[in-house]
Structure 1
Amino acid sequence: MIKPRKMWLNINGADRMLICDPEKDSLAQVLRRIGLTSVKIGCDTGVCGSCSVILNGKVIRSCNRKITRVKEYSRVITLEGIGTPENLHPLQVAWMNRGAVQCGFCAPGFIVSAYALLLENDNPTRQEVRDWFQKHKNVCRCTGYKQLVDAVMDAARVVRGEASMEDITYTPPKNNECYGKPLVRPAALAKVTGLADYGEDMALKMPPETLHVAVVQPRVAHHAKILKIDTKEALQMPGVVKVITHEDIKAKGGTNQMAEANLHERSTVTLPSRKILSDEKIFRYGDVVALAIAHTPAQARAAAAKVTVDIEPLPEYLNFLDAVMPDAIRVHDDTPNLYCCQPVLKGAALEDAEKIPEILDNSACSVEGSFHSSREPHLSIEGCTVQAYFDEDDYLTFQCKSQGLYTSISRIGSSLGVARDKLRIVDNFNGASFGWSTNAGDLCLAGAAAVAVKSPVALSLSYEEHQHFSGKRCPSYSNGRVACDEKGKITAAEFDFGLDHGAYSWGGDHVMEKPVRFAFFPYNVPHVAGLCRVANTNHTFGTAYRSYGSPQAYTLSEALMDMLAEKMGIDPFEFRWINIARPGDTNINSHGFKEYPMEAMMEKMRPHYDRAVTDAKAADTPEKRRGVGLAWGGFNVTEGGTDQCTVTLELDDKDRIVKYDTWQDLGQGGDVGSLMVTLEALKPMGVTPDRIRLCQNDTKICPDSGMSAASRSHYMNGLATRMAAEKLMEAMQKPDGTYRTYMEMKAENIETRFEATYTCMADPTITRLDPNTGIGDPTPAFTYVLNMAEVEVDAATGKTTVLRFVCVYDVGKIGNIAAVSGQAYGGISHSIGFALSEDYSDVKKHTNIASSGVPYIKDIPDDILLIPCETPRKSGPFGSSGASEAFQSSGHVAVINAIYNACGVRIFDLPARHEKVKAGLDSLAAGNTIAPPRKYFLGSDLYEELETIKANPVKFRGHDMFNSLGDEDGARFF
């Protein structure tokens, strides 16, 4: 029985009476309950800082401060007490104008923390700002931290009276030349004032009849038969309305199967592999078997804890190597564990793959190695939270985090027993994703509950539940060899990748195409024999993550490039200069690179590399080893030939242009991106930012603009917007060249609303990878990066610190420099984490962002230099390409190469934790060499498998396979 406690707190300057549960309430919960939802609860364990408030003059993390530890009449300051939209604090202005707002979920905590810093010290150094955020555990997953320090430094100048608010505010140019400029994001004001309602904020503001849903994750095994699910005791718990299992979903006409399509000709998958609620088997640690629905979140959780599951354990395969052993049982009955593969053959290999070993053996020099990249977790600070309800038109509506609203509808499919045309997806403000929200599993859970009780519901997973439930980047195991002639020119390469796609197969046949496109990108390699295989295991499933599938490729190829350069006695920079592709050269898929900015990018990097090498030699000591590492990288733009984007432009009765689209904003800037391309498309009319109103991310009123993925959004939305703008301007233009108003359009009975769709099918150069040879050109554009990391290795501990990072990049014409820079800084920070600390392999340990290795501010250098190299794209909108994903493609290998350069320890198995580096240093000190891992067994010998593929070619259906659901393909589509 709850015995509430009345207490007074002085909150934001006013005394307020509160009624608390002294046994359970945290200060964060109390503040949120009274409407101060700037206080975010992310990790709920005090390791992310999103709940930061000032208590009696000190910054604290309010999620783990029990109300019993807060003295009555204590003084509390939240973001709401620091500044409002009409009376902003300099920190809020600086946050908006310095590009410090991306997803914005962490912004309130950072601003509150910085406010406390400036109260103590209004003239901090950059290092003092970094020390402060480190001390108070403020984590940002989007920005890379540099912009946050920039913002504090700007705000401090205003606080000291050395600058005005206008001095730190960006003003758009009056000539309307906005493209490329750092226009402030439209949503930034709501985010920096704490008024943006994220998932859990929306849950608090749902109607009072809303029920709450908790998941039952047994967490007893990675693989087991389900013998019995017992809900009797749970149903007797206080406040419980219903406890549902797979049987309840089927009783409502649902299939309980998430929709999946395995499109590759070599896929052996014949049945959907993922259930909403597990019925016969548990396939991984995070599977959900039941949902408890109750009047309060606490009641739902208490009931969920009472559901019992009887199981029969089955063999567990927690990595690719175990799952593909000959004696391994099948994870899914309908398909072998190794269920799909994609070869790539070039040059002599097209005639006979066995010629490649001969070329390698007869070359002047060759190196080989085997590499492992980890199961990288996304570690967004906001996890899974969904509200579901039947709206006024009886649409089953999801308020959620989704990177592809219409794709989510497809993935829900018929699983819930609700017709697809009665599903509605609405994006809340989103606390980042980086790829995990391309999956609709959490939507299916909330939808199943809403259908079961025909009532609004709110589903919230704890961060640990979210960690186990959401997908991760596919781990990879790879073997490779590369050779060159006596001048250092690459002669041939061979490689073999095994991707661990975890418990569910959806997407595996897509991600496996990335290593066979991006290994040895962007070099000219004349002869190639390669293969990528994908397998099911009993670990969490593989899903999208920024630079989807290419970091695994660069883990192998950029390490081998350094190894070959060293063996040849050639500087790593010069070795890459020799081998970059130049006009006329082709990639490993036998097609051109479309653009060849490689020489220009290396020329921009050269002086920084020379300076870094000199600095490293001067600073290197036996105690603190210094090194420099390089890595080329890049990524494709769009999802290929099937990609399309629809937008709508409308002239409204206030003579504004209303833009309708589903450019999902996960922090990358879907709002400002849409604004930028619309401004540029309507530039002949002289349209200014204040005349554009964005109406986004609600499938009931917005057309399908595609996913926020594959670096596609700016490219595809820009082209579609240009088409719609041309239609609108043609309709509005008078014979004298001026433009009609809304009233004039109506008076002349002229249409004021125009829709346009751009499809990649219109580009005849796009061809899928041939499933027998890997020849193809699946996307219309690329992005390019050249990374350099400068590191220090502590010889006593093995700890690696990245001191400086330089990135030269080419994304075509830049649309918004602040948004592109934000993606660069963020991608680099993820790459450093991938290299040194991030992992989700131990389900008992990797339960929150801290234990999973998230980088805090002092793990990321403040000295990050971004150098654009703009090569306008002929095919892209206004000369632009894409952005985002290249920035996380290969930076991790620059760090790994720098570690080797510093101390002679090469890490073949990510992440490069300090104990691995220290073990290598100890081995070298003992006079031993560091041997690479033994060659991985990936299911069969590479050349035996390539010979099998050659002997069993499959019919290549090109684009037809995506456009037809005929009898031939019907069994593969769900």
Structure 2
Amino acid sequence: MALRKIWLNLNGADRMLVCDPEKDSLADVIRRAGLTGTKVGCGTGQCGSCSVILDGKVVRSCVKKIKNVPDYSKIITIEGIGTPTNLHPLQQAWITYGGVQCGFCTPGFIVSSYALLQENLNPTREKVRDWFTKNRNACRCTGYKQLVDAVMEAAKVMRGEKTMNDITYKVPEDGRIYGTNVPRPAALAKVTGTCDYGDDVALKMPPGTLHLAIVQPGVNHANIKGIDTSEAEKMPGVVKVITAKDIKGTNRIMFPLGHPRAKFNGIDRPIIADEKVFRYGDVVAVVAAETEDQARSAAKRVKLDLEELPVYMSYLEAVAPGAAEIHPGVPNMYLTMPLLKGEDTREVLDKSDYVVEGSFQTTSQPHLVIEPEVTQAYIDEDGMVTVHNKNLAQVLALIMLCPGLGIPEGNLRVIENPVGASFGYALSPASTALAAACTLALDGKPVTLTMSYAEHNAYTGKRAASYSNARLGCNKDGKITGFEFDFAYDHGAYSELGDVLTSKAIRFAGYGYNIPNARAIARCGASNQTYGTAYRSFGNSQAMTMSESMVDMLAEKAGIDPFEFRWINIARPGDLNINSYPYKEYAYEAIMKKMRLYYNEAVARAKKEDSPEKKRGVGIAIGGYNITGNPNDHAEVALELNPDGTITHWNGWEDQGQGADVGTLVHTHEALRELNLNYTQIKIIRCDTKTCPITGPAGANRSHYMAGNATKDAAKQLLEAMRKPDGTFRTYDEMVAEDIPTKYLGVFDTTDITIDLDPNTGAGDPTPEHNYAMFLAEVEVEVSTGKTTVLGVRMVYDIGEVGSVQAVDGQAYGSMMHSIGWALSENYIDNKDYDSLVKCGFRFAADIPDNMTAESVENPIPRKTAAQGSVGCCEVFQSATQSAILNAINKAVGVRIYSLPATPDKVKEAMNAKAQGKEIKPEKFFLGSGLFEELDYIAEHPVEAAGPGMAL
């Protein structure tokens, strides 16, 4: 190896470094110099998290070879723009205007923005978006709106029109921060590049830490006949090649299905594949070596003897007659859930004045986070197997992994690193299990695993694809009479969360309306696609893609404007939801009253700006989601009074960028208002299962609600303990002197305020609260190509009181972006062709409209069981924007797209068919036995309800 000495001017100082000119990238050299604010995400120049300024120009340093960088090149990184004690206006604006969510992309964006403002101190919003797109600065959290806001405000300071004080958050005069734009506590570290994400932690692991590289088979279905590791074991630096035989436990991730009709026990996923390959991204071996390069080189030498089997890449293929069982002994369709409400819909729909039917398909959606999987594992000072990584459900790892790993229950410790987003996939404890298994197989040696983006994309789960057949009817006045549907989720290779997912169809198809009669079946099945996992609006978005399309179709057939049709049918007090219980709140009248003006304006605008070449359309859709998942939800937090009078909040509220830190802050400050604390006096310690209470998964809109109520309980105990007879409060010293505890555990549980779904009818009320929204999309379709451009998205919602403006807005705009991508371009098929952001249809800043608005109704309905009257928001925000876009395309060019994504070729093909007097419409899907045959079977074979399952 021939090395090179190089001098670089890093942030104004000349520094000498030694590098490998053939292998090292500029990012490698910068990070070895200790400047870890430069992050590496995709590793292929597509995400811009590694952006630096090289001799005045923005470059993506991960693909800039150091051999092409001259001596004494001037390089500016995030550390050279500002420090925690001397912020640049861009950094302050990012903090104040919500530019920080997960924060992984933040340094790259700020560096890129700095270069932009060096060239142009007065850019338009469009110019900012074009700059980010040209320089491939990718964000998956924000929808870009807040990032543009931050640039525009920072530019005002740099032009002398505002001061730093003007763009810095100020506490309101009444001292209350709840419901304000108070910054996220973690924002300062993230905007200055001093926050350590997974790869930064890896650089700080002690000497002797081994690097891991995974071996993936590259096929979707095969029997494993043998694994030859001999050649790999002889490679330089290799310590061990770990396979399934090295795991002392059952080598299974225990994720039981709680539904009594499930034909799977949920213990079907190996930690390391042993007998079979079920999907493209399975891990069949792991190489441990002294360096990452050595591990990766050796991984290529592991030889697999595979007997390839028939591949079923969709639910439809897997349930077709003659298909073999993917998991031997388990039918490929392994779970059905019924829904019965009111009268038999066959009779009802036969008598209805208007009836529509359709079949719909949604595809697997990749989460497309910027930071891939990074995990560290070691044995801690107490002998506990300790894992650091992304994990939005630490409690699941504790419950589900010990038998598989072969360690005693209670001997696993999980710590959440600062993470570059998840949007749900990190609920699966798979990488936790993999790293823990490796450190155990290596006699406790510390290990670190960084997956390439291609490996990460193949390894992690995706939003499950779906298929559905439906009929919906109404009377001559437009009142819905009946709804029937047969809905199937393609859950891919593994069953984890399959029962929770399946329940979403029979809870949220047709949600928000008064539907008196319903008959439905929700199904879940296996395929050789990657496994379905949690993703924001888990299960709902698939169901609402179908039902909100059907509502528009029925309105059109009845000759009623789609907004008026919804106004006629929205649920009002006294109406029951599709599960035969009252809606938690009746929010849709207020939402629609607020949206009506916007809708009328948008329709008028579309008519005015429509042209023969570019057709305009406006679409709407209703959305909703549950707060928590099942009746057994439980959360704990702790509050502690410190000697200096500050408060420490201990919790397990995982933060994937959604704002657990600021949620903790506002809840704690509000619950302790009597103490008149400055919000900076509240310290937060989170997500170490050895030291923090278990607060539960950060999913199902549950965290703000569950942690908020637990915080309220802890605060009540602490205040009562501190309160003196005269109403003043004891100090820490006085508490200790009187032998009064200074730390209190707060608990909240939903078991007594919920009713699980009846497995024979679907009736039930399993979650304590809900949230509600309506979406409006304006689109333009280019007639010559079929290309759809989303011009604007508006959402009106009711989530109760808003706790953090930044967190809510961040979830809103990020959700809109994800839904636009899913509607128009994003897809994932489990093979080598979907190994990057671009190949999966990622949307950059110029692909997302600047015209996005999210607002609460004027008088939100306080949630009766919620602390501060607030519930979570993120899931509802991603429930139905895609449906509004599909409906808008239909309004623009008169064709309905029945399968996502609505790509230009698909839209154009439908337009051409329409011109010939035809319609491209899917044939009714074969999902298994017929809807009513399945309902009859269930009626003849009733089951008793099982215990409540996962609270998601």
Which residue pairs with 1:282 in the alignment? Answer: 277
Matched, 1:521 2:486: no
For 1:48 and 1:788, locate their aligned partners in 2 and report how far apart those are by CA, in whole Å. 29
Which residue pairs with 1:387 in the alignment? Answer: 376
Which residue pairs with 1:703 in the alignment? Answer: 693
| Conserved 8 A contact 1:380-1:432 | yes
Within 5 Å, give how 1:263-278 maps onto structure 2: 263-270=258-265, 272-278=267-273
- Per-residue deviation at 1:391? 1.1
Within 5 Å, give how 1:106-121 maps onto structure 2: 106-121=105-120
What letter matches 1:240 in structure 2?
V
Matched, 1:923 2:913: yes
- Per-residue deviation at 1:326? 2.4
| Conserved 8 A contact 2:591-2:774 | yes
Query: Normalising by the residue count of structure 1, what TM-score does the alignment of the two structures yield?
Result: 0.96
Within 5 Å, give how 1:458-537 maps onto structure 2: 458-537=448-527
Matched, 1:303 2:298: yes
- Per-residue deviation at 1:333? 1.3
Which residue pairs with 2:168 in the alignment? Answer: 169
For 1:406 and 1:595, locate their aligned partners in 2 and report how far apart those are by CA, in whole Å. 31
Within 5 Å, give how 1:331-480 maps onto structure 2: 331-348=326-343, 355-453=344-442, 454-480=444-470
Which residue pairs with 1:967 in the alignment? Answer: none
For 1:875 and 1:550, locate their aligned partners in 2 and report how far apart those are by CA, in whole Å. 23
Within 5 Å, give how 1:947-962 maps onto structure 2: 947-957=936-946, 959=948
For 1:440 and 1:153, locate their aligned partners in 2 and report how far apart those are by CA, in whole Å. 41
- Per-residue deviation at 1:928? 2.5
For 1:867 and 1:186, locate their aligned partners in 2 and report how far apart those are by CA, in whole Å. 24
3-state SS in 2 of match to 1:406: helix
Which residue pairs with 2:238 in the alignment? Answer: 240
Within 5 Å, give how 1:787-866 maps onto structure 2: 787-841=775-829, 843-866=831-854
- Per-residue deviation at 1:199? 0.5
- Per-residue deviation at 1:842? 5.2
Within 5 Å, give how 1:686-701 maps onto structure 2: 686-701=676-691
- Per-residue deviation at 1:53? 0.6
- Per-residue deviation at 1:89? 0.2
| Conserved 8 A contact 1:490-1:579 | yes
| Conserved 8 A contact 1:190-1:196 | yes
Matched, 1:576 2:571: no
For 1:958 and 1:20, locate their aligned partners in 2 and report how far apart those are by CA, in whole Å. 59
Which residue pairs with 2:253 in the alignment? Answer: 258
For 2:79 and 2:893, locate their aligned partners in 1 and report how far apart those are by CA, in whole Å. 50
| Conserved 8 A contact 2:541-2:878 | yes
3-state SS in 1 of match to 2:404: coil
What letter matches 1:826 in structure 2?
G
3-state SS in 2 of match to 1:415: helix
Which residue pairs with 1:558 in the alignment? Answer: 548
| Conserved 8 A contact 1:727-1:754 | yes
Within 5 Å, give how 1:732-751 maps onto structure 2: 732-751=722-741
Which residue pairs with 1:544 in the alignment? Answer: 534
Moved more, 367-376 or 873-882: 873-882
- Per-residue deviation at 1:179? 1.1
What letter matches 1:804 in structure 2?
G
For 2:769 and 2:387, locate their aligned partners in 1 and report how far apart those are by CA, in whole Å. 34
When residues 894 and 820 of structure 1 are mapped into structure 2, their CA distance, relative to the original with a 3 A threshold, is: same
| Conserved 8 A contact 1:387-1:458 | yes
| Conserved 8 A contact 2:259-2:945 | no
3-state SS in 1 of match to 2:789: strand
| Conserved 8 A contact 2:630-2:950 | no
Which residue pairs with 1:969 in the alignment? Answer: none
What letter matches 1:89 in structure 2?
H
For 2:453 and 2:58, locate their aligned partners in 1 and report how far apart those are by CA, in whole Å. 23
Which residue pairs with 2:895 in the alignment? Answer: 905
Cα-to-partner distance string for 1:796-819 (whole Å, 9 max, x where unaligned): 111111101110011111101111
Cα-to-partner distance string for 1:569-610 (whole Å, 9 max, x where unaligned): 110100000000000001100011110011110000001000
3-state SS in 2 of match to 1:421: coil
- Per-residue deviation at 1:918? 1.3
| Conserved 8 A contact 1:269-1:334 | no
| Conserved 8 A contact 1:223-1:315 | yes
3-state SS in 2 of match to 1:896: helix
| Conserved 8 A contact 1:408-1:438 | no
Which residue pairs with 2:318 in the alignment? Answer: 323
Which residue pairs with 1:620 in the alignment? Answer: 610
For 1:557 and 1:225, locate their aligned partners in 2 and report how far apart those are by CA, in whole Å. 40
When residues 63 and 896 of structure 1 are mapped into structure 2, their CA distance, relative to the original with a 3 A threshold, is: same
Paired positions, count: 948
| Conserved 8 A contact 1:318-1:538 | yes
When residues 415 and 670 of structure 1 are mapped into structure 2, their CA distance, relative to the original with a 3 A threshold, is: same
3-state SS in 2 of match to 1:31: helix
Which residue pairs with 1:230 in the alignment? Answer: 228
From 282, 289, 294, give the equivalent of 1:294.
Answer: 289
- Per-residue deviation at 1:271? 6.1
3-state SS in 2 of match to 1:414: helix
Cα-to-partner distance string for 1:237-287 (whole Å, 9 max, x where unaligned): 0000011111111xxx32211112111000011361100111111111001
Moved more, 412-421 or 95-104: 412-421
What letter matches 1:319 in structure 2?
S
3-state SS in 1 of match to 2:62: helix
3-state SS in 2 of match to 1:123: coil
From 726, 747, 751, give the equivalent of 1:757.
Answer: 747
For 2:622 and 2:457, locate their aligned partners in 1 and report how far apart those are by CA, in whole Å. 31
3-state SS in 2 of match to 1:387: strand
| Conserved 8 A contact 2:458-2:830 | no
Which residue pairs with 1:968 in the alignment? Answer: none
For 1:863 and 1:455, locate their aligned partners in 2 and report how far apart those are by CA, in whole Å. 52
For 2:206 and 2:920, locate their aligned partners in 1 and report how far apart those are by CA, in whole Å. 62
Moved more, 434-443 or 913-922: 913-922
When residues 511 and 466 of structure 1 are mapped into structure 2, their CA distance, relative to the original with a 3 A threshold, is: same
For 1:307 and 1:160, locate their aligned partners in 2 and report how far apart those are by CA, in whole Å. 59
| Conserved 8 A contact 1:664-1:707 | yes
What letter matches 1:150 in structure 2?
D
- Per-residue deviation at 1:325? 1.5
Structure 1 runs of 4+ aligned residues shifted over 6 Å read none
3-state SS in 1 of match to 2:381: coil
3-state SS in 2 of match to 1:410: helix
For 1:384 and 1:39, locate their aligned partners in 2 and report how far apart those are by CA, in whole Å. 17
Which runs of 5 or more structure 1 residues have no equivalent in the other structure? 349-354, 964-974
When residues 866 and 935 of structure 1 are mapped into structure 2, their CA distance, relative to the original with a 3 A threshold, is: same
3-state SS in 2 of match to 1:63: coil
- Per-residue deviation at 1:445? 1.3
For 1:415 and 1:952, locate their aligned partners in 2 and report how far apart those are by CA, in whole Å. 34
- Per-residue deviation at 1:931? 3.3
| Conserved 8 A contact 2:256-2:266 | no
For 2:309 and 2:651, locate their aligned partners in 1 and report how far apart those are by CA, in whole Å. 47
Matched, 1:184 2:172: no
What letter matches 2:710 in structure 1?
A
Which residue pairs with 1:667 in the alignment? Answer: 657
Which residue pairs with 1:100 in the alignment? Answer: 99
Percent identity over paired residues: 53
For 2:461 and 2:733, locate their aligned partners in 1 and report how far apart those are by CA, in whole Å. 51
For 2:595 and 2:278, locate their aligned partners in 1 and report how far apart those are by CA, in whole Å. 47
